[in-house]
């Protein structure tokens, strides 16, 4: 059953893209911000909230069918996002909560705080959600990752010196040979990224050091790495264990 309301806490580029993706799926989308200045935004109707709010005494609790809603905790401050998740879970036991995390350690904390699903974001993948949401086929994938019990993963595959893709034009590659994998975007050495099917990306000649952002199951991702002679890219400086 479709849920009635999407509750988005925080206002930033992730929230704006999430709104575009979910506005047709829900009867209403409500955005809440810790900054009163956001209430004057010309495009979005934004409500102010305070982390000290008693949810049972707010209009949110009175006007929304929480049992048929979903919450996105997208505050950029990690401590605030964790506190918000704890607060929402304490008041709404059955509310599905999706949260973002800057790295794996924070993702684990958010899961412990009560989030049903956490999207870890490292610096080099900060714009992947934006790229995904701009693609109709990726909307389906993202929906599965967010709302369902899915083993789908997002991975970054770095093109090495001996990769079969090196010096190939993107448009010349037959992706159907790589079962179980959907390639979303290509990231260049300067960390700029392009959706894989954009006209600019199609003309791109793959260089050593380029990174392909892919979605698939773990076994298919490993198989893809082996077939193209490349390996997963990890920036260890942004991860804690």
> Can you give the three-state secondary structure of 21-81, one letter per residue?
HHCCCCCEEEEEECCHHHHHCCCCCEEECCCCCCHHHCHHHHHCCHHHEEEEECCCCHHHH
- SS3 call for 7: strand
Give the three-state DSSP class for 227: helix
pLDDT the model gives residue 204: 81
Q: What is the CATH topology of the domain spanning 153-238? A: Alpha-Beta Plaits (3.30.70)
Q: Block means of pLDDT (10 residues each) for the chain, length 241 residues?
A: 79 84 85 92 90 63 77 90 89 89 81 86 46 49 54 79 85 76 76 66 81 82 84 46 30
CB neighbours of residue 23 within 10 Å: 11
Query: Where do the domains of the chain lie?
Result: 5-121, 153-238
CATH superfamily entry for domain 5-121: NAD(P)-binding Rossmann-like Domain (3.40.50.720)
User: What's the Cα-to-Cα distance from 18 to each of 37, 131, 183, 203, rounded to whole Å?
Assistant: 21, 12, 20, 29
Would you give the distance in Å from CA 175 to the centre of its chain? 23
Tell which residue, 115, 119, 137, has the closest CA to residue 128: 119
Residue 47: what pLDDT?
Answer: 92
Task: Write b or e for each residue in 65-82: b if 16 or more Cβ atoms lie within 10 A of its Cβ, otherwise e.
Answer: ebeebbbbbbbeebeebb
What is the model's pLDDT at position 142?
A: 55
């Amino acid at each position: 059953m479709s849920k009635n309301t999407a509750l988005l806490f925080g206002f930033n580029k992730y929230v704006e893209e999430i709104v575009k993706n979910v506005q047709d799926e829900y009867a209403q989308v409500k955005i809440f911000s810790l900054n009163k200045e956001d209430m004057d935004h010309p495009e979005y109707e934004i409500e102010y909230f305070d982390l000290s709010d008693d949810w049972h005494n707010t209009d949110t609790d009175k006007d929304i069918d929480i049992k048929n809603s979903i919450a996105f905790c997208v505050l950029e401050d990690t401590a605030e996002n964790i506190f918000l998740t704890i607060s929402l879970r304490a008041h709404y036991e059955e509310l599905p909560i999706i949260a973002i995390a800057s790295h794996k350690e924070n993702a684990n904390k958010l899961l412990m705080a009560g989030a049903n699903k956490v999207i870890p974001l490292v610096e080099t993948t900060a714009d992947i959600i934006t790229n995904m949401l701009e693609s109709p086929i990726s909307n389906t994938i993202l929906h599965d990752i967010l709302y369902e019990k899915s083993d789908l993963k997002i991975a970054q595959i770095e093109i090495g010196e001996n990769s079969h893709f090196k010096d190939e034009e993107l448009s010349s590659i037959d992706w159907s040979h790589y079962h179980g994998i959907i390639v979303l975007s290509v990231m260049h050495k300067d960390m700029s990224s392009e959706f894989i099917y954009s006209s600019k990306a199609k003309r791109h000649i793959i260089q050593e050091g380029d990174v392909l952002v892919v979605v698939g199951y773990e076994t298919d991702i490993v198989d893809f790495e082996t077939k193209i002679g490349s390996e997963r890219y990890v920036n260890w400086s942004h991860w804690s264990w």
